[in-house]
Amino acid sequence: MIRETLARFVAFLPALAAAHPGHYHPPGEDDEFEQFRADYLHVHGYFEVGLAALLITSLLVFLFNKNRKLRLAAVVAFGSSLALLAAF
């Protein structure tokens, strides 16, 4: 049951991370935190969401899998997705 729930979570994580409401500002109204939200709190695209999902999935594979080769691959995937996520 835990594996099924985890698999569903991983499968739907990009859709959950990308789902956020739009923002409406009338013309001429400036929000002081708009640039901060646009730069750090909003999703910039599905590529970044996929990288974040890969990061979380690789961490879970590393923590819950006993196979040494898969754990090594998870570390490589974690490091590369973290580096690419920081670049974007």
Per-residue pLDDT tens over the stretch 51-75: 888 888 898 899 999 999 999 999 9
Band (24; pLDDT cuts 50, 70, 90): low
Residue 47 Cα to chain centre, angstroms: 9
More confident: 22 or 28: 28
Over residues 45-50, mean pLDDT: 76
pTM score of the predicted model: 0.51
The DSSP H or E segment spanning 68 is: helix 68-87
pLDDT score recorded for residue 44 = 61
Q: What is the reported pLDDT for 4?
A: 82
